Amino acid sequence: MPFLRLDAGYLLALAVIFLFALPFHELAHAWVAERLGDPTPRRAGRVTLNPMAHLDPIGALMLVLAGFGWARPVPVNPLYLRYGPRVGMALVGGAGPAANLLLAGLGILVYRAAPEPLLATPLAFAFLRDWIFINVGLAVFNMLPLPPLDGFRVLQGLLPPDMAYAYARLEAYGPLPLLLFLILDRQLGLLSSILQPVYRLVSLLMRF
């Protein structure tokens, strides 16, 4: 889907993403961490839907410019987590993308249940379509298995302990692996090759 668009439906969808979907993503991380025994997110004031508690200006700008972005990470102490730090962090990490898929799924249900006259309204149609696709895009992007994204934590939890330990060394390079991926992506279209079949599936679900 194209980015840097100025149509009203897309801009409305972006506004609701900023004010609700990104905070909901981070709230999911915080809520799961708290359920697993970590008081850190509550102490940091992150078990909330208040967008000001979660939004990251650079991540928000990237969402506008590139179609993917991020919010301010929720602080989590892995030592508190039930099931151990590795599995616990995988559960916390997976909660954010799962929240975006939940929002996209709700959007699909609304789209399919909406009366035809409503979908014939350009603003309503564009908003629902972009709400669905942006949330799916955020879920897929955040599940890339690179630090500091959620997929890095999820893959660590799925790998055998010795492989997870070796893989964890990537974290020492900070966001560099992700930056290298994004640079390569501009030349090779790696992210698009992942997103296109996902978007086709979503389009089928919207029409099914």
Which sequence positions are flagged as catalytic? 26
d(CA 189, CA 163): 28
What interhelical angle do 122-142 and 22-35 show, nearest 10? 40
d(CA 183, CA 140): 18
Q: What is the DSSP string of 112-176?
A: HHS-HHHHTSHHHHHHHHHHHHHHHHHHHHHTSSSTTSHHHHHHHHHS-HHHHHHHGGGGGGTTH
Q: How many helices (H) and strands (E) does the chain have?
A: 11, 0
Q: 180 near 144, Cβ under 8 Å?
A: no
